[in-house]
Structure 1
Amino acid sequence: MVALLFKTSLRWRLTLLISGSVVLPMFGTLLIASYQGSQILRKEAEDKLILQANSLAHKVTQWDEKVVQIMNNLNLQPAIQDMYGSEQEPVLQAGIAVYPDMYLINTLDTDGFNVARSDRKPLKYYGDRNYFKRAIAGQEVSREILLGRTLDKPAIVFSTPIKQTFYGEKPEIVGVLALAITLTEVTQQVQAIQVGKTGYAFVVDSQGKILAHPHSHQFKALQDFHEYPPVKSLINGRSGLLIFEDSDQNKWVSYSISLPNGWGAIVQQQKSEILTQVNQFWQFSIVLAVGVLIAVSGITWVIATQTIQPIRQLNRAVQLTAQGDLGQSVIAKKQDEIGLLAQSFNAMAHQLKDLFDQLEEKVKERTKELAKANQLITALNHKLTLENGRMEAELLILTEIQNMVLPKPEELQEIEELDIATYIQSATEVGGDYYDILPHPGGITFCIGDVTGHGLESGILMVMTQVAVRTLIESDSHNFIEILNILNKTLYKNIARMNSDKNITLSLINYANFHLIISGQHEEVIIGRANGTLERIDTMDLGLPIGLEEDITPFLNYLTLDLGPGDGVVLYTDGITEARNEAKRMYGIERLCDVLRQSWSHSSEEIKQAVLGDFNQFIGEVALRDDITLVIFKC
């Protein structure tokens, strides 16, 4: 789309650009205003629902409290408390006159039979009613919604226990006062609420039955609304705003309030009616935006046409100049930006003509300069090739020196008391791993180390280490702590002279008559027992990397242990345990130990081949990132 736009004429691009720069901000402003307007309209609608619901809840609560007060006042009368029917009847008749919606006040004994009635009808049994059971149980005010036996229509019965105090003792329940009243006033309060064209209010009891509803058929039979979403939410203890969809797929916004007596007051309105004004505002915004777009586009088209005509003339002159006609010029009548551009073109055209006249001579001069530069580059390339050849030869020589100082197979075969197998492989031409096996009158010393990194510096330090260790061993110095201390001082100074940051982890292991001495810090030393079990010796507390500090005497220590026939030792560098495969998983010491356990009953060479086979299978095609060394010997 963007590429197609840039292929159109400048007139169209200017029109689209200016129109877009006006319409897009306008649309953004309208979008924000519409959103804010919709939020205000929604808030006003919700506030209206809340106000109506609070008003209804307040009026219903007042009505309930008024009825309860009438009942409590009657219950305080001595005639009511004495439980004599002939004395109670006038009091009940006087009470029925207080409130026109009350159609019956009666008293019942503790068995549920009438003692007196305000309507003077035959006395009945009401012991099966829940309001009676709750009052006898001691509930101060009980309410029950039912179809009255007297009027045969929905009504509510309020009840309270009648108590007497005998001889100053605790009051005892001697009967029940019950007051039956229609829901006419509550229904009138509900019908008085009108929210828009679709909104209305209703009242339910604690079980979800309709008590008052603007549609009379909904409450005449105490219709059960406990599954209606706002009623269900209220029963579950969640009042307040709720948006829901009824069985006819109409969406509603409701506000519900839980009353002190357990009832619920609910006011609701269809969501579509709430959003009507929002939709009208959106329609007006769209019509306005389209009108502005058409007006801006028309004005822009006229301005673009007047602007582009001189540009076309300038473009024609540029094309002819590009074809070689350097005598072109354009008439600059206006002093605006386009006129200034025309003047600049005329000046440029004259300069081009002058430059073209001088170009051929300058080309000849520059060609000579390029020829000289090419000769210099050729000489530098030749010198670089020679330098690379020299450095490659030096690396090959150092690699050869490293290989020359490693123990030869025939040397290892002369050590008859041990079965020895070794392996070393560098990640680059020159590695930093080091191992050596040095027989001497005091036994056989195994050395294994790892110079940080690899390359020329690491290889030189490896050779230095081998020479220094061999010199110290050959000088009959078999005190490992003394050897490591001297070695560290020597290499520390050489490393400083080389201006290098390298150091070496190094362990010395001396074997003599089934007895081992281990000193120096390196990877773990693995001891294999004849029965196939393995022991891992941590060397972290036996030394410090060589060349890291000038004096490492306080850190040096040694460890001794005994071997038996079939026992052996495995030495390695971290190039094995820290190698990663294509999935970035590390080979690890645990996997190495698993392979050693499985193959320990074999010879050292077979054990070595098992380890290398498993290692190569693990890393697959991943190139080595570090040198690897493996030394195994068995008694």
Structure 2
Amino acid sequence: MGEFLRVLRKMVHEQPNIRTRLLRLLILSSLLSAMVFAGLSFYGMTFVRKDIADMGTQLSESGAEYTKQYINKTSKDTLAELAKAEAGYIDREMSLMQHDVQILSEALTWIQLHPENFLPGNVFDLYNGKVPPTAPCILYSPDVRKRGIETVQKEVELSANIKGTLVPMEKSYGNDSYSATYFGSKHGFLICSSVFPGDEYSPLSDDPAFDYDPRVRPWYVNAVNANKVVFSLPYLTILNEEHSDVEVISCSVPYYDAEGIAGVASLDMATKKLRQYIHDTAIGEKGINFVMTNEGKIVFSPMQEGVLAETDQPQDLRQSEVAELAQAARQMAKGERGMLPVEVYGEKYMLAFAPIPTMGWSLGLLVSQEDISSSLQESQNYFMGQMDNFKENLQREYLFLLQAALLALLIMIVIMFFMSERLSDRFVQPIKQMADGVREIASGNLDKKLEIKTGDEIEHLAVCFNAMTDELKAYIENLSQVTAEKEKAAAELSVAKNIQLGALPQDFLTSRQEFQIYASMDAAKGVGGDFYDFYLTDENHLVITIADVSGKGIPAALYMMRAKTTLKNLVLMAKDPDDFAAVVMLANQELCRENEEMMFVTVFIAQLDLVTGELIYVNGGHNPPLVQENGRFRYLRHKKKHMMLGVNEEGMYESHSLVLQPGEMIFLYTDGVTEAMNEAGGMYSEERLQETLNVQGEKNVREILAAVRQDVGVYAGEAEQSDDITMLGLKFYGYKKNSREDSRKL
């Protein structure tokens, strides 16, 4: 305390020099800080607690609402994915069934077309003796039995060679459900894997069940009429008195002999497992899953009555009185995916639907909006509870930190009082010495050297002053020379930029009516490595090119000019103008030669036939362009991506083609567009580029490119442009009879 009072007395009685002022400043700053901090602490104790509580309440409410909206959206996305997954499961089951019946058809066709390769076979005759369980057997139509089975004996013996396939194929569907494989001949007999599974059957000669003509059965007739794989609607197949009727779906396809269709192979599968799957995957207590044909008729549904019930004469859901349900049914019949709110059985539902492509049917998932809302409310309540806990913890932590900060401030004030005098002496003395030396240097004596040995920043500052005097002398001498060199370099860079821009075509061929083209390039530096090019090789062919050279500045610009000239010369000299793969391969070989700097260039080059709209193109490691089809832009991607030019002299390239319809457009760009960064370091992205293009409507090419460039600029904000931004758009309008004559007149 005595030392503290001594310091205060010196501050009051001594003259206000730098040392005294520094002492006053330190002590007053400490006291002022303590007072301000005490006031803020009081404010925090009385008001901030209330503010935190209010902010916590607002945050919990807004966060709960956001969580509710997010979960709602996620639930809808999940429903759509569930519909897709469940429809995919059913489709896989049906596609396996289709695959098996096609194998059976192909095997029968091979047997019928190559009878010389097979010995006579046999199957159990239902009309003569007992038939073991699951043994292949034969049924005859009434007319065959009437004229004698010997009339078809040779065909039966030949076809019996398939019996080794029938039973294993049937057993591949498991023993827990009914299935059957069989085929019917155009001559009136049927061979099947079994009649009654698990039974040994002794038929009666007068049993009408065995007067069976497959040629009049729907599964046979439908397959012959369609001449392809067909699926039946579910129907009941009769077994015997000990076995109840079984509902099955048949998958049938013709097989052939030398004269054409020889018969129909078919596979039956019980629907029990499928129905159980559809029932078990319903969501919520009120959830309803159903399957609908492409004609709008309900095939599978748990409902016994109403609009979704299975009936002998089901109504067409596309004609439903409920507008939302009719709209969804029409989309389902077209094989579309989607989700719509509907009202069924007096309940509000969300209907998610997805196609079953193999059968041409569609699966619908109805989820009660009441179930969805209850889940959302539970999530909201949980979030609100968590936010309340957070507010309580935040207030406790605040009080603890406030107390710790007050204690630390008091300790620092005491320490500052006792160290301020020593710090002042140590700080002020070297400053006085430096001030004297600087005064002499300022008078013009640049040879003056400051000799200060304090071992801290002041000594470093003195060394810097000494170095500054030496550098100042050299700077004065070299200033004029450096200024002249900079002015010369700036002039040369401006000339280089003008030369580069002059090498890019600026005449956008506005006189041609078959197409509309426009391009732009914004270099990141004075000159850049991007370039675009377009030219007519004849009256009916337009070549377009866009490329991006590695690196920036003058080296990239020089390599750009070499690449541009090489590509254009090879295109114009090509023996086969359509062989763009050869042109790019030769250009790559040329650019690899004498490439000591290991530079490379990505290229997209294409040729448009102005009569047919065919676009032949090669992508040499460049960004995928976007093509407008039916008013929407999509990326033109391929599984195999070619290497950029100038890297591997032995690189191979492949050309592709597509046909632009009148009014469609292709958009080329460099990665300076999609990789443009904002202040936060986020990239513009391919997705945003596609969205921007898709909202441009019927604008012309120049307006579309301007809109994209503006959107990139808005996204980047104040961030510095990091790469060249180059774009080229080409819209095809189609060949017009007088377009060539008009262009010549112009």
TM-score of the pair, normalised by structure 1: 0.40
TM-score with structure 2 length normalisation? 0.34
If you compute each CA radius of gyration, which structure gives the higher value, 1 or 2?
A: 1
